Amino acid sequence: MPRQPDPQLEQRILDAACRLWSRGGQKTLTMRGVAKAAGTTTPTLYERYHDRDDILSAVRLRTRAELFAAVNNTRSLQQACERYLEFALAHRHTYEMLFDGFAQPPSLHEPWPTFNLLRHRVSQRLGGNPRSHTRLMLSLWALMHGTVMLLIRGGVSEPLLTQMFYACLDGVEAVVQHSARSKTKRFSGPKWPRGLVLGEGANSKVTDGFDRNVARNYAAKKAGSRARVQPTRNGM
């Protein structure tokens, strides 16, 4: 009688990969180790995944889909951010794996549904095209991700965990409200480069495709500003 395929095998493989990753990152995530932890054989594992990077990509895609499902059924940006934080804290190992090398291929060119959803929510609050709010979305994303990683890596427990959780949400709201009040949006640093596109799948890119003269002028301006504020010899 032919052997029946195991419908739970893929789930066990991805779960095993996450457990191994949590113990030691890439050093412990080997094909043989994943097969053993998943209760299967190495040849069977290779039938489904070409190599370790293929497994990592599968974990990322699954985690992004689960994260999107958690935030999609919300009615506001604030609620979506709250669900984001809750998901990250409830799935700590897979969340950490999700952002390892996120700005490099292949992760860069994979779908970023939650990033796009949150950026769309920002545009609903502030108006305009979602793509025009990418820099603001990066600020909000950094605030949320930074909070999550502090809570995960810092071993934070109650009552500090709750305070940091809601302090992050307050910070998100404050940044969005400030942007809503600002009629003329002025950003520090050079203009957004043409070669920087995020959250657009295969079209995403992080390249050096911006005007080098703009970058040089900005660097010179910053250097001039520092020179003007240098203290004199008497400290005044």
pLDDT in tens, 168-218: 999 999 999 999 988 666 678 888 898 999 999 999 999 865 444 444 554
- pTM over 0.75? The answer is yes
Per-residue pLDDT at 175 = 96
pLDDT for position 188: 83
- Does residue 85 contact residue 169 with C-beta atoms inside 8 Å? yes
As a whole number of Å, the end-to-end CA separation of the chain is 90
User: Which fold does the domain 59-184 belong to in CATH?
Assistant: Tetracycline Repressor; domain 2 (1.10.357)
pLDDT tens across 94-119, in order?
898 899 889 999 999 999 999 999 99
Q: Which residue has the higher pLDDT, 221 or 32?
A: 32
- Structure confidence at residue 220 (pLDDT): 57
- β strands within the chain, DSSP E: 196-197, 205-206
- Domain-by-domain residue ranges, the chain? 1-49, 59-184, 188-236
Structure tokens at 136: 């603001």
Cα(28)–Cα(16) distance, rounded to whole angstroms? 11
Mean pLDDT within 41-47? 94
Radius of gyration (C-alpha) of the chain in whole angstroms = 22
Domain 1-49 top-level CATH class:
mainly alpha
- Three-state SS at 103: coil
> What angle do helix axes 113-126 and 134-153 make, rounded to 10 degrees?
130
Residue 132 has pLDDT above 60, yes or no: yes
DSSP three-state, residue 205: strand
Per-residue pLDDT, averaged over 120-139, amounts to 94
**Using the 8-state DSSP alphabet, how is residue 34 labeled?**
H
**Angle at which helices 52-72 and 9-24 cross, to 10°:** 100
CA distance 231 to 160: 40
